[in-house]
């Protein structure tokens, strides 16, 4: 891929891809690293700008792969953690309405506490507004597994959010 093609991709998908990277790792610095690594992979590979839907799926799948690479490396080093200040800054960028920020922050926090397999399907289908079929392609799992994980994730979120409100 040429630099000009990459710039066109970033103009079209950059904001969405950046938000997806952050949703995966919950850390601005790490999400920037993931985003940059996705760009480097695009430059190194001769990726054809295919049909928009297929290309978007490819971008998210690449970002997820990079994120999982970072996770494996962090696990080997024994690193973990969530940067709440970064999360708050991210939520503030989404909406300007104070009441919406508090509600979204609570939901977002609950989603980020989910195990990876549930957080990934929620992030793709709700935050990125993808169809279950597309999420399945990105995650490399059957559509039925996406549906069952969504169902379980919603149950876990409902339980946690109900508990927090009481």
Tell me the pLDDT tens digit for each residue of 95-121: 566 666 667 777 777 887 888 889 889
Q: How far apart are the first and last CA of the chain?
A: 53
pLDDT of residue 36: 93
At 152 the pLDDT is: 95
Distance CA 86, CA 90 (A): 6
Ramachandran quadrant class, 115 (left: phi over 0; alpha: psi -120 to 50; beta: rest): beta
How far is 55 from 77, CA to CA, in rounded Å? Answer: 33
All domains of the chain, ordered by start, with CATH?
1-81 (1.10.1740.10), 114-166 (1.10.10.10)
In this structure, the number of other CB atoms found within 10 A of the CB of residue 108 comes to: 19
Band (145; pLDDT cuts 50, 70, 90): very high
pTM to 2 decimals? 0.57
Rounded Cα distance, 114 and 157, in Å = 8
Q: Which residues of 60-99 are buried (b: 16+ CB within 10 A; e: fewer)?
A: bebbbbbbeebbeeeeeeeeeeeeeebbeebbeeeeeeee
């Amino acid at each position: 891929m040429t630099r000009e093609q990459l710039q066109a991709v970033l103009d079209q998908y950059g904001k969405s891809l950046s938000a997806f990277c952050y949703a995966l790792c919950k850390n601005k610095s790490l999400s920037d690293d993931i985003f940059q690594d996705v760009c480097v992979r695009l430059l190194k590979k001769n990726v054809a700008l295919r049909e928009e839907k297929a290309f978007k799926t490819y971008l998210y799948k690449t970002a997820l792969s990079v994120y999982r690479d970072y996770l494996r490396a962090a696990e080997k080093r024994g690193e973990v953690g969530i940067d709440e200040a970064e999360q708050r800054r991210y939520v503030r960028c989404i909406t300007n309405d104070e009441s919406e920020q508090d509600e979204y922050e609570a939901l977002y926090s609950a989603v980020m506490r989910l195990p990876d397999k549930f957080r990934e399907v929620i992030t793709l289908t709700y935050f990125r507004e993808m169809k279950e079929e597309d999420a399945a392609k990105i995650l490399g799992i059957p559509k039925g597994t996406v549906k069952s994980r969504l169902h379980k994730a919603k149950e876990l979120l409902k339980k946690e959010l109900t508990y927090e409100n009481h």
